């Protein structure tokens, strides 16, 4: 059996995003023990770097071992008890997974649906909380990767608190790509992933819990049904100050990578990273529109890091994506759920938010559309992106 050599791709899907060689080099360093004093020092640095990325002072801020979905489970299994009522705001696929989590915790989910591509409607959350005063938790996806919608986390958390509920926020795609301020917005529990705007390989889920959330975990009447994700246990490893006890073997080299990616994020500056995502989104949008393509979504609610582009009638979705991959080594995302076959999802996440990526995508799309007989004006698209960059 020969070794595996992956092709060199340009990743512009909904994650993973392109990983910087600095992060890959960090991950190739020698593996050490997960209780080695040097490793314990690295863990403290990672917690510190994550607090800065989330803009929080929460002591309980660390990466759960596992992909973003495990971060989601960690929040739900710890905070939700059997018999609880949880309001789930659903405006895409990932909100649907939140509902699944709630129900598997033995709680009942009150789902409020918003149209796909639209942000969660604060008024409907308010109404749902009035109609279900027993609800103790509100959950929503800040950056819906299936629809490209950005919701107003600050307002939604405020509403939850005014009704005595805690807020669980999915920031898997949000973190590092758009403004997020866990402490100023008073978010109770939040989870993310590494392979979106942090530009790490997948496999870790940064989470953060405030005191209010921890109090709810401590007040549980029933033990957390997941041994692996029980905060009370896992914190013996991640938060044990003087001595850390074995809980599970941390993914050592993956954590080297996360550390380096966070160092890079802070070298650039959080605000600068958000502005970079916004800039390249504007250029991609201008270029795509000049190609006669339409970005779905409503003004002020579009994610810069995940662009949902309608597939024009008569265009073969799968063939376009095959052409991009075969001829340009470019990966973009297919539509998910309601958007399967109807839209593409073009990611500008982390290292994939650059002018090189925008240009590659516009040129490749122009070529793939022309190959299917559609008249496209490539020069107009390039002029439009150039006008944004000035």
Ligand X SMILES: *Cc1c(COP(=O)(O)O)cnc(C)c1O
| Positions that interact with ligand X (CB under 6 A) | 15, 67-69, 72, 94, 141, 145, 170, 172-173, 193, 202
Q: Which residues of 94-117 are buried (b: 16+ CB within 10 A; e: fewer)?
A: bbbbbbebbeebebebbebebebb
217: nearest Cα among 192, 246, 188: 188
Given the complex with ligand X, which of 205 and 364 has the nearer CB atom? Answer: 205
Least distance from ligand X to the Cβ atom of residue 67, Å: 3
3-class SS at 265?
helix
Interatomic CA distance for residues 13 and 356, integer angstroms: 15
Pairing of strands 330-334, 10-12: parallel
Q: Tokens for 69?
A: 């979905």
Q: What is the DSSP letter of 332?
A: E
Given the complex with ligand X, which of 42 and 174 has the nearer CB atom? Answer: 174
- H helix and E strand count, the chain: 13, 13
Least distance from ligand X to the Cβ atom of residue 137, Å: 17
Least distance from ligand X to the Cβ atom of residue 91, Å: 11
Given the complex with ligand X, which of 13 and 287 has the nearer CB atom? Answer: 13
Interatomic CA distance for residues 295 and 147, integer angstroms: 11
Given the complex with ligand X, which of 15 and 206 has the nearer CB atom? Answer: 15
Cα→Cα distances 225→76, 107, 124, 204, 206, Å: 11, 13, 32, 21, 21
Q: Tokens for 230?
A: 């029980």
Given the complex with ligand X, which of 193 and 335 has the nearer CB atom? Answer: 193
Q: Residue with CB nearest ligand X?
A: 68
Least distance from ligand X to the Cβ atom of residue 318, Å: 22
Least distance from ligand X to the Cβ atom of residue 161, Å: 22
Given the complex with ligand X, which of 94 and 237 has the nearer CB atom? Answer: 94
Least distance from ligand X to the Cβ atom of residue 275, Å: 21
């Amino acid at each position: 059996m020969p070794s595996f050599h992956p092709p060199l791709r340009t990743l512009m899907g909904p994650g993973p995003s392109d990983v910087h060689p600095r992060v890959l080099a960090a991950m190739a360093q020698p593996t050490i023990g997960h209780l080695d004093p040097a490793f314990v020092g690295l863990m403290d640095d990672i917690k510190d770097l994550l607090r800065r990325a989330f803009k929080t002072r929460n002591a309980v801020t660390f990466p759960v071992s596992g992909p973003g979905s495990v971060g989601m489970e960690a929040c739900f299994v710890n905070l939700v008890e059997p018999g609880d009522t949880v309001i789930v705001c659903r405006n895409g696929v990932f909100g649907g997974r939140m509902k699944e989590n709630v129900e598997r915790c033995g709680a009942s989910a009150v789902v409020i649906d918003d149209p796909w591509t639209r942000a969660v409607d604060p008024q409907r959350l308010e109404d749902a909380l009035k109609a279900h005063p027993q609800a103790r938790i509100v959950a929503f996806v800040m950056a819906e990767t299936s629809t490209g919608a950005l919701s107003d986390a600050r307002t939604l958390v405020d509403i939850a608190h005014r009704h005595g509920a805690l807020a669980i926020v999915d920031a898997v795609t949000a973190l590092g790509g758009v403004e997020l301020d866990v402490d100023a917005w008073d978010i109770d529990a939040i989870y993310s992933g590494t392979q979106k705007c942090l530009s790490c390989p997948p496999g870790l889920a940064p989470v953060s819990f405030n005191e209010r959330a921890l109090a709810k975990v401590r007040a549980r009447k029933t033990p957390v049904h997941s041994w692996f994700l029980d905060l009370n246990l896992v914190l013996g490893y991640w938060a044990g100050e003087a001595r850390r006890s074995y809980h599970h073997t941390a993914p050592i080299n993956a954590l080297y990578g996360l550390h380096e990616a966070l160092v890079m994020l802070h070298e650039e500056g959080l605000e600068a990273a958000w502005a970079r995502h916004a800039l390249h989104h504007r250029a991609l949008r201008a270029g795509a529109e000049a190609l006669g393509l339409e970005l779905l979504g409503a003004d002020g609610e579009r994610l810069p890091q995940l662009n949902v582009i309608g597939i024009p009638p008569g265009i073969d979705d799968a063939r376009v994506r095959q052409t991009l991959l075969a001829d340009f080594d470019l990966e973009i995302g297919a539509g998910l759920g309601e958007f399967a076959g109807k839209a593409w999802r073009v990611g500008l996440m982390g290292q994939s938010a650059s002018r090189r990526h925008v240009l590659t995508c516009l040129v490749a799309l122009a070529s793939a559309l022309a190959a299917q007989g559609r008249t496209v004006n490539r020069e107009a698209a390039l002029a439009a992106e150039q006008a944004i960059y000035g």
